[in-house]
Chains A and B, each alone.
Chain A
Amino acid sequence: MLTAIFEQSSLFLQQLVNGITLGSIYALIAVGYTMVYGVIQLINFAHGEIYMLGAFLGFSLLSGFFGFGLPFGLAVAVSVVVCALAGVLLDIVAYRPLRRAPRLAALITAIGMSIFLQNLALLIWGGQIQSFPQHTIPPFLGEPALLLGDVVVSWLQVVILTTAIFLMLALHLIVHYSRIGRAMRAIAQDKTAASLMGVDVDRVVSYTFALGSGLGGAAGILVGLYYNAVYPTMGYFAGIKAFAAAVLGGIGSIPGAILGGGILGLAEVFGGGYISSSYSNGIAYAVMILVILVKPTGLFGRQQRDKA
């Protein structure tokens, strides 16, 4: 009896660790959705594709897909920067011309971009699942960092968690203590007023896209390493789950996105482990729909102003 409970609890703890790891990644992606929505009220469907792009860039730079290989740290840095630039480019090419158009047009454009990018990746890298060549990854990442009975915490999980926390802290500092962060918050409050006060809206939106996409790209590499699998449709499901996390936390709220990511990661791991693995994607959809129907402002969202 006692041993059974012990075994169960170690399984539980292991799942907890896995769930938190997954949750921190979702949180990183969700922040990108939430920031863009907060600033220009657009659900950037293509954000999941930026994340996929991050994973593919990391993979390509490490494995020498482009004809040259980079050391691990440099490869990660370069792909994050490229993702950030890709996000800015996405905004300039696709969304900026539609700032004054009806919201539906921008939303449809976002979907179009998502499909375009995903299939572009399919054309470039092919549809099969690719994994990082063993020699390119620092070997210690696979080793356990912490052993608690049967519970294993690998170095990779530690790295993911610390990176996520570090990036979140950096984001917090940027949003709350820098000029550009203040401008972002001002635009989120009232775009017209902010532009009248001399805030360059386009520039701030570009920065927002850069920050969000950079985080998304980082999440892409981390996930690619975590599952050791990179494929063109990976952005689709991760994007949906991260979006569900953003909605759960209250879209537009950064702490909400982090909390929502955590909850969703845990729900997915526990749901997959204990209820039914085939419905693990369904949990994200169900959470998303329920939150939207019952409390569209999420856990931390602002009350929408009445526009009657």
Chain B
Amino acid sequence: MAGRKTGELLLKAHKVVKTFGGLTAVKEVSLEVRAGEIVGLIGPNGAGKTTFFNCLNAIAGPTSGEIMFAGHSLVSQVSPATRLLVFRLGALFALLSLLWLPLALGVVWPETFFRLEAVLALSGLAFFRIYLLKPLSHFRAWSRLLLLIFVLADGLWAVVWLWRSPDFAEVGFFSLFPFYPLLVPGALLILIAAPFFLLMFNLPRVREAFGQHLRADVITALGVGRTFQNIRLFSSLSALDNVKLGRHCRTRANFFGIVLALPGARKEERDSAEKAAECLRFVGLGKQLESRAGSLPYGDQRRLEIARALATEPELLLLDEPAAGMNPTESAGLINLIRRISQAGIAVLIIEHDMKVVMNLADRIYVLDHGELIASGTPAEVRSNPLVIEAYLGAQHAAAQA
């Protein structure tokens, strides 16, 4: 843990929007979590709470809006359309580099690669062009024209091919193509450049510049752990292995270290077993290290999921309805557990239906309804807010109270 001061801004979501097709599931939600806080997120069923969590850790990133976590932007600054365009142009480039190789080799061994190229060109190129250039049409009229020209040219090319290909095989297709001496060096150049180009897309900084989303695993490594509403454990693995998987992003051993049993890798494995056992003891599962996760009782599974999230050493823990399906005793234990997590210096953002749990725990509460933020404040403020009562119990009840 980075030892942040209590009250330092940790997570800041600003006007986060998520749409599915025409449906807006989250509408301009803004929210803050400070270090050391427990923040509740409540709302009726279908209010978009889990969708919002998915936006935060990039399982399904937001359509627009800004999310900052500990100084990192978790969302791109670039519009999805541009992102798509850039990505597809990259794919087109990679494809061309693949196509150029048989083209170029076709000069050297016509009888072999000539045909291969034809198969590729016919079955793939037209299709790829349509697919790759489609996003262009979002932009300008001229790009639509370009698309049309490309498609027509492909069609024409295919017809010429079908009609005349026996001639080409004899005459040599490349005499029709004035630049063919450039093919071989060109192909070499592209072949050398292509891996770098593809690699470039994988560099985090470039990804950020091009507006690629951070992936969920990167966000976890930055320090955001989460649990799920419908428990998602690795159910056929043991409880210990589940939590060891949480250590995954904090360990470094690679293939060779593991296979050669290098001392570093072995020590790391021992350490992660120790840390995992510690996390399990912390949530009160110290005795069930070797039990199969899927066969644990329901409440234990919930706690195991929390242990797994804790093992990733988060600064912020996202809990999605941790008390769902628990009896009063169990949820009392849960409240105690979340308190201890908070005392360990981990900020908690919690979605919960059980009002007793959330009112008891949270320092502040945000209320979502139909994807919109309708209220926020301390538990006492939220409880007496007429908008919240209306959202939960309907307008009539609110009127009756007033």
Contacts and interface: CB of A to CB of B under 8 A. Distances in A.
A275 interface: yes
Interface in A276-308: 276, 279, 282-283, 286-287, 290-291, 294-295, 306, 308
Contacts of B210: none
B162 A290 contact: no
Interface stretch (B114-122, B190-198, B255-263, B353-361): B114-122
Interface of B: 20, 54, 59-60, 115, 118-120, 122-124, 127-128, 131, 161-166
A274 B162 contact: yes
B54 A283 contact: no
A12 B166 CA distance: 13
A101 B265 CA distance: 37
B156 to A, nearest CB: 15
B131 A275 contact: no
Contacts of B119: 271, 275-276, 279, 282-283, 286
Given A267-B123, A308-B54, A275 B165 contact: yes
B122 A271 contact: yes
B165 A294 contact: no
A8 B127 CA distance: 26
B122 A290 contact: no
B131 A283 contact: no
B59 A279 contact: no
A14 to B, nearest CB: 13
A170 B122 CA distance: 34
B118 A306 contact: no
Contact of A306 (B20, B120, B164): B20
A187 B199 CA distance: 44
Q: What 5 pairs between A and B have smallest CB-CB spacing?
A: A276-B115, A274-B165, A275-B118, A286-B123, A290-B124
A12 B158 CA distance: 13
A295 B91 CA distance: 14
A275 B122 contact: yes
B225 to A, nearest CB: 18
Nearest to A273: B162
Contacts of A295: 131
B131 A294 contact: yes
Nearest to A5: B163
A75 B94 CA distance: 54
Contacts of B123: 267, 283, 286-287, 290
A276 to B, nearest CB: 5
Nearest to A278: B115
5 contacts: A8-B163, A283-B119, A286-B123, A308-B54, A308-B60
A189 B271 CA distance: 49
Contacts of B20: 306
A125 interface: no
B161 to A, nearest CB: 7
A270 interface: yes
Contacts of A286: 119-120, 123-124
A287 B124 CA distance: 7
Given A267-B123, A286-B124, A274 B166 contact: yes
Contacts of A308: 54, 59-60
A283 B116 CA distance: 10
Contacts of B166: 274
A282 B124 CA distance: 13
